[in-house]
Amino acid sequence: MPRHVAIIMDGNGRWAKQQGLARMFGHRQGVDTVHKITEHATRLGIEYLTLYAFSTENWNRPKEEVDALMALLVDTIKKETPTLMKNNVKLMTIGGLDRLPEETRRKMEECVEETSVNTGLNLVLALSYSSRWEITRTVQELARRVKDGEIRVQDIDEQTVSDTLTTRGIPDPDLLIRTSGELRISNFLLWQLAYAELYFTPCLWPDFTEEEFDKAIMDYQGRERRFGKTSEQVNKGYRL
């Protein structure tokens, strides 16, 4: 079982269009999928589930859609907090939360605080997140520490970088799923996905089901993860 699954939830708009509905219907239906997949991940004993809910670039969408998405987030958090508590799910966030409207940010922080006692699935919401934003602020922070004499340039290694990203303390994803048939990473967890297995499905996010999730897991379980080594090394038959 992968320890950490990350998902780019794509296709809400196209799903709505297919039904002849406004885009927001797709996002609302997408919330149902979030609910189902979070419960399913809990049942499977997955430790971390990271969902790309709102990217830095999503701020460029029409204002009505951005406002409606922010309102939907508040609404969802209000409604779902009791379920998160019941299922022992701990909510975490990554991204530039300071850009969120005051109420959305406050509700998120309250839910993070309330669920911080939980010990089951860690549900990580990427909000106002993009990987280049994250890497840029990490470089700035490390440069500041060098300038202030806290660390030396030669002390910076991969672990230092990992520990300065917004995902510090979270293991790298083992599996990335992207729905809706697009074959892109779209500025998501570029550092952290270095050795993740990638799984793409044409299924639109509102149509994504527990069975579709199981298919992705089974596909992952059939992969050979070599982390740069040879197949023989990984399969233990390796001799010097």
For residues 189 and 51, give the distance between their C-alpha atoms in angstroms, rounded to a whole number. 11
Site for ligand FPP in 124-183 (CB under 6 A): 125
Among 36, 42, 47, 58, binds ligand FPP (CB under 6 A): 58
Check if the beta carbon of residue 49 is closer than 8 Å to that of residue 122: yes
Give the nearer residue to ligand FPP in terms of CB position, either 81 or 162: 81
Check if the beta carbon of residue 173 is closer than 8 Å to that of residue 189: yes
For residues 115 and 155, give the distance between their C-alpha atoms in angstroms, rounded to a whole number. 35
Question: x/- site string to ligand FPP, residues 90 to 129, per CB under 6 A?
Answer: -----------------------------------x----
Distances in Å between the alpha carbon of 68 and those of 19, 47, 71, 75, 118? 19, 30, 5, 10, 29
For residues 171 and 49, give the distance between their C-alpha atoms in angstroms, rounded to a whole number. 11
Query: Shortest distance, CB of residue 178 to ligand FPP, whole angstroms?
Result: 10
Distances in Å between the alpha carbon of 67 and those of 56, 72, 99, 148, 202? 14, 9, 13, 40, 28
Question: x/- site string to ligand FPP, residues 26 to 45, per CB under 6 A?
Answer: -x--xx--x-----------
Residue 10 known to be catalytic: yes
Candidate segments 23-31, 99-107, 134-142, 152-160, binder of ligand FPP by CB under 6 A:
23-31
Residue 58 known to be catalytic: yes
DSSP H or E run through 177: strand 175-178
Candidate segments 68-76, 169-177, 192-200, 213-221, binder of ligand FPP by CB under 6 A:
68-76
DSSP H or E run through 73: helix 63-86
Choice among 32, 58, 75, 174 that is catalytic: 58
Query: Shortest distance, CB of residue 94 to ligand FPP, whole angstroms?
Result: 13
The residues of the shown chain that bind ligand FPP, judged by CB under 6 A, are 9-14, 27, 30-31, 34, 51, 53, 58, 72-73, 76, 125
Which residues are catalytically annotated?
10, 58
